[in-house]
Structure 1
């Protein structure tokens, strides 16, 4: 399972551990990913996504999964999230 947020595209970063003696060794900074079940009001369904904590705050701030995906850029979303976004857009067009 890849360590990439399905909504923001946030992934691991690289950096250095720096000791007191200023020795540097490579390390990875991993995003805080959680398996979360988010609900869509328009589709009346629930989806399980692997999302970072920052993305969960953004979803809450924008007013839910539907509003977040409406404003999200397609290149940041995972294929699963992109399919949800297209299903929501289709449901809004028919309603």
Structure 2
């Protein structure tokens, strides 16, 4: 698996360790990825994602993964999130059809 947030796309950055003598050596800054289960109301089951804490807060701020995906433009989503958005849209339409 790549070290990449599935929602925001945050990935590994590269920089330098700088010693007191100003010697520079390459290093990597890894993102703070958390494996979380986000409950999807439309699908009726939790979805496991590797997200940064910032992405988790964004989902909570927007009222859940379903509303976040449906409000976000497709050009801003990763391919995995586009497929999840499609599954959510289909499940939501199916539930509305059954309720009517």
* TM-score category of the 2 structures, normalised to the smaller one: 0.7 to 0.9
Pick the structure with more helix per residue: 2
Structure with the larger RCO, 1 or 2 (CA within 8 Å, 6+ apart): 1
> How big is each residue's C-alpha offset from its partner over 1:2-60, in whole Å with a ceiling of 9 and x where there is no partner?
10011111100111111111111111111000111111112212111111111111111
Q: Which runs of 5+ in 1 are unaligned?
A: none
After TM superposition, the structure 1 = structure 2 runs for residues 1-95 of structure 1, keeping only pairs within 5 Å, are 1-94=1-94, 95=96
Number of positions where the alignment pairs a residue of Structure 1 with one of Structure 2: 95
Find runs of 4+ consecutive structure 1 residues off by over 4 angstroms.
none
Q: Which runs of 5+ in 2 are unaligned?
A: none
TM-score of the pair, normalised by structure 2:
0.82
Structure of greater Rg: 2
TM-score of the pair, normalised by structure 1:
0.85
Q: What is the root-mean-square deviation in Å for CA atoms of aligned residues?
A: 1.7
CA contact (8 A) 1:7 1:76 kept: no
